[in-house]
Amino acid sequence: MATLEIRDLHVSVEAENGPREILKGVDLTVKQGETHAIMGPNGSGKSTLAYSLAGHPKYTVTGGTVLLDGEDVLEMSVDERAKAGVFLAMQYPVEVPGVSVSNFLRTAATAVRGEAPKLRLWVKEVKEAMAALQMDPAFAERNVNEGFSGGEKKRHEILQLELLKPKIAILDETDSGLDVDALRIVSEGINRVRSTGEVGTLLVTHYTRILRYIKPDHVHVFAGGRIVESGGAELADKLEEEGYESYVKGGASE
Amino acid sequence: MADVQNTSGSTTAGSIEVGTAGAGAQLAGPGTGRTTVKQPIDARVAVKPSFDVNDFPVPTGREEDWRFTPLHRLGGLHDGTAAAGPRGEDKVEFTLPDGVTAETVGRDDARLGKAGTPVDRVAAQAFSAFDQALVVTVPKDAVLTEPVKIDVRGEGGVRFAHVVIDVKPFAEAVVVLNHEGAGTRAANVELLVGDGAKLTFVSVQDWDRDAVHVAQHNALVGRDASYKSVVVTFGGDLVRLHPRVNYAGPGGEAELFGLYFADAGQHLEHRLVIDHDTPHCRSNVAYKGALQGQDAHAVWVGDVLIRAAALGTDTYELNRNLVLTDGARVDSIPNLEIETGEIVGAGHASATGRFDDEQLFYLMARGIPADEARRLVVRGFFAELLQQIGVAEVQEQLMVKIDAELEAAV
């Protein structure tokens, strides 16, 4: 069973006046089949955690370890992490002009699976996954994220999640900017992947709204660059009522 | 991590120069762009066009038309030393569809020099020094179903060439001039597109890394004729091409497409001139280039002149560059000079973008290795332009070449 173990993770970014530490010792274990919600106020560092795990070059790991089934994730290049089974659904997916969605998906699937998927089966697989996300087939011929609406970008991210079948899915604010219908469609896609029991999900979100559709096993409150409280789904209800105020005023703002 | 860190850091894409003469960034529709230009377009060039090399002083590098070109890498094409030395050889193979002729003719053949006149010393040197010219003729009304192919393989040394492609009225042809191998070459290529004729001329510069190639392409587009120029430049140490268009009658149409890929140390220069002096003609220019590596240098200069007589002109030119790594340099200069406002449209656009870290990260985060991610992006960047060529066989062959280039270079 795949397990992602994050131990005492410290991460900095280059700021104008030198490096600034954003993650200040994160400990978290995500197992295959589990869903963890990471919730926290703006600027708490929860997106930094997501991007650091995927290996974004902007973030420098200054301490701690990240292991996926005992393998050192921090030693891997960005593409190696993806091949090892780490997937990051981005809050702001990037436009890649000149590269069609269908070409992109097939190239990614070939890279992650280690061989080109059989064309006939692949076409069917993509078609079904797109239909499930209520995406127009014409979408496949558009350039990656170019001119996509907010909802289209997020569906495209979840489409990749469904096709690439990672061991660990990190979903960074996938719910932000979505209307109720789009949120439902995207959540259903995530739930289809979760229902296989083969993915550990790290759901990074500011709002509790998406948790109406996706029931987490664990909820962690993120503040001041670390996890300050962990609990079950009931912790989300508390956050819904009380907000993050107590965490921001408390131990977080050091 | 190493791959990502290679491309992080500076986000400057090198020096980008975008100059406009007279007109603003965009001019469209009649009544706009009534800019009065006192000098004709070639006035920026110090010397009048001439077939005689002695009419041109040896360039110093300070002239407007030479200021980007590293003269010391021209192999002496510009200062007479190349012409004074021994000649090298080319191996040339022809594929000629039925009815098409290819002749080797002497310097005194009456068909030479009709499409245009050399505009700089190297082109004049080529005209003054070539021994024999090649004349390819597509007869009147012939509609070719197969391309004419001229495969040139340079076998070192210095050579001066002169080629005439004569497409007679109402004929339709695709002509592919492919350059490979080594050497120092200067040439003039004349493209005579007869009234109502259609010519697609493809010039591929797939030279060895140390080759030097300077050429002027003069197209004379007949009444209601259409001319399509496709220039693809990958190889060579220094390549400098001058695709030029003149119109022999109203209703002519010219489309000039270009693709180039400059690797570390390569200098690839494309200088286009479209001289609208005839009413109701159209022109459309789209050049796209990708660059990578230290001192990769691309120069694109697009001069479009709409003279007072050229009523009803419709023209647009575009240059896009994609800089893949630090250390590369692009100079992109569209010039639009308009002497009449009674036109359909005139515009130009130039932009240089960087394949940025965020795009690279996005693709790599889906398992795609850095080099493959770059290939994917460049392939897509070029494919958009290739699709506009409209000749399926040419598109496919060029895509194969692009893939081979990307496989080897990126």
Q: Where are the domains of chain A?
A: 3-252
Q: What is the pLDDT of residue B2?
A: 30
Which pLDDT band, with edges at 50, 70 and 90, does B409 fall under?
confident
Q: Provide mean pLDDT across the span B165-185.
A: 97
Q: What is the pLDDT of residue B389?
A: 84
Which pLDDT band, with edges at 50, 70 and 90, does B45 fall under?
low
A99:B376 CB<8 A: yes
Residue B155 in this model has a pLDDT that exceeds 60:
yes
Residue A99 in this model has a pLDDT that exceeds 60:
yes
Nearest residue of B to residue A86 by CA position?
B365
* C-alpha distances in Å from residue B393, one per residue of B72, B140, B396, B398: 39, 23, 5, 9
Between the CA atoms of B257, B261, B267 and B269, what dihedral angle is there, to the nearest 10 degrees? 10
Least Cα separation, residue A82 to chain B (angstroms): 5
Contacts of B389 (CB under 8 A, 6+ apart): B200, B228, B230, B257, B395, B398
Per-window interface: B 192-251 vs A, CB < 8 A:
none
Q: Provide mean pLDDT across the span B218-247.
A: 97
Q: What is the pLDDT of residue B353?
A: 86
Q: What is the pLDDT of residue B27?
A: 34
Residues of A in contact with B321 (CB under 8 A): none
Q: What is the pLDDT of residue A246?
A: 86
A to B CB pairs, distance under 8 Å: 98
Amino acid identity, residue B151? D
Return the closest-CA partner of residue B160 out of B190, B193, B187, B200. Answer: B187
Q: What is the pLDDT of residue A33?
A: 96
What pLDDT, in 10s, does the model give residues A127-148?
999 999 999 999 999 999 999 9
What number is the ipTM of this complex? 0.95
Which pLDDT band, with edges at 50, 70 and 90, does A249 fall under?
low
Residues of B in contact with A153 (CB under 8 A): none
Average predicted confidence (pLDDT) for chain A: 94
Number of other residues whose CB lies within 10 A of the CB of residue A212: 12
* C-alpha distances in Å from residue B16, one per residue of B57, B241, B258, B317: 29, 20, 19, 17
The CATH topology of domain A3-252 is: Rossmann fold (3.40.50)
Residue B40 in this model has a pLDDT that exceeds 50:
no
Q: What is the pLDDT of residue B90?
A: 96
- C-alpha B183/C-alpha B80 separation (Å) is 16
What pLDDT, in 10s, does the model give residues A145-154?
999 999 999 9
Residue B364 in this model has a pLDDT that exceeds 90:
yes
Residue A252 in this model has a pLDDT that exceeds 90:
no
